[in-house]
Amino acid sequence: MTQSVLERPQTEQPQALTRSDLPLNLDAFGAELDAIRQGVLDDLGERDADYIHRIIKAQRTLEVGGRALLFFSIVPPAWLAGTVMLGLSKILDNMEIGHNVMHGQYDWMGEPALYGKHFEWDTACPADQWRHSHNYMHHTHTNIVGMDRDVGYGILRMSDKQPWEPYFLGNPLYAFLLMVLFQYGVAVHELEAERIRTGEIGLADKREMLRETWQKVRRQTLKDYVAFPLLAGPFAPLVFAGNLTANLMRNVWAYTIIFCGHFPTALRNSPSRRPRMSHAACGTTARFSGRRT
């Protein structure tokens, strides 16, 4: 039986196609992708709607309960429980709700609160910027060095396709800082730090992007580190510390999930030029598993 394009093991070396082969293979590949998409659409229903509603309810319960417990954080167990609950709520908001909703995963439900193009999340990155850097740049050019800015976030060297320079001697330090400050790393994703570092563009070229990012960062900072601590009165320092720790939990979790999911050992990266179509073109993404549809 002929092996599916999506079924071929990722250890195979790419085989460049001839011009005469290209249309036929593209049609077959497109048909397989269309079949996957149609299968998912046909399977959507009440189960999916119930799932996202349960997750949203759980997230809100954890956030409200966590913030309430932090107001009584003079009792150590209350501080610990409140911080963990708030951290879990931020993880759910970021990874399970925000990420999926902004992908348009629940647009079919017709609920304004779950409409991907209008959703805003509880993190420093403006949603509109994330929709461009992630939904378009990352998912259109997945792991193509020089086009997908998720490859190292413009800070790290993640592939041998990235030219080495002395700057990358700091990779371990940059990786640690990106992990603990991950919401801010995502917030400046559209800054294109690697192009600024090489002098290709300047900060003035990103003035509007920086203005939008500052507005969102300011709102998040005022909410977590000013408003809620002030509401706690004499317990303000403890609430501040709880919010800081909850954000750190979310940052480390998101960083770990994204870097482990995007850059496994067997993954291949493509160079910055648009890659030629090949049987193993899907090797640039970790999202394909070898199952026939």
DSSP calls for 147-206: T-TTTGGGTS--STTSPP-GGGGGHHHHHHHHHHTHHHHHHTGGG-HHHHHTTSS-GGGG
Binned at pLDDT 50, 70 and 90, residue 264 comes out as low
CB 210 within 8 A of CB 203: yes
Question: No. of H helices and E strands in the chain?
Answer: 12, 0
Tokens of 100: 């999926």
Binned at pLDDT 50, 70 and 90, residue 67 comes out as very high
Q: Quick: pLDDT tens for 146-168.
A: 788 888 888 898 888 888 889 99
Give me the mean pLDDT over the 262-279 stretch: 52
Q: Among residues 246, 232, 258, 211, which one has the least CA distance to residue 122?
A: 246
- Does the pLDDT at position 291 exceed 80? no
First to last CA, the chain: 14
Query: What Rg, from alpha-carbon coordinates, does the chain have?
Result: 22
Q: Quick: pLDDT tens for 94-148.
A: 999 999 999 999 999 999 999 999 999 999 999 999 999 999 988 888 888 878 8
Measured between alpha carbons, how far is 128 from 111 in angstroms, rounded to an integer? 19
Tokens of 287: 């999202």
Give me the mean pLDDT over the 68-90 stretch: 96
User: Would the CA dihedral through 161, 164, 168, 169 be positive or negative?
Assistant: positive
pTM over 0.95: no
- For all residues of the chain together, what is the average pLDDT? 84
What is residue 47's predicted lDDT score, i.e. its pLDDT? 94
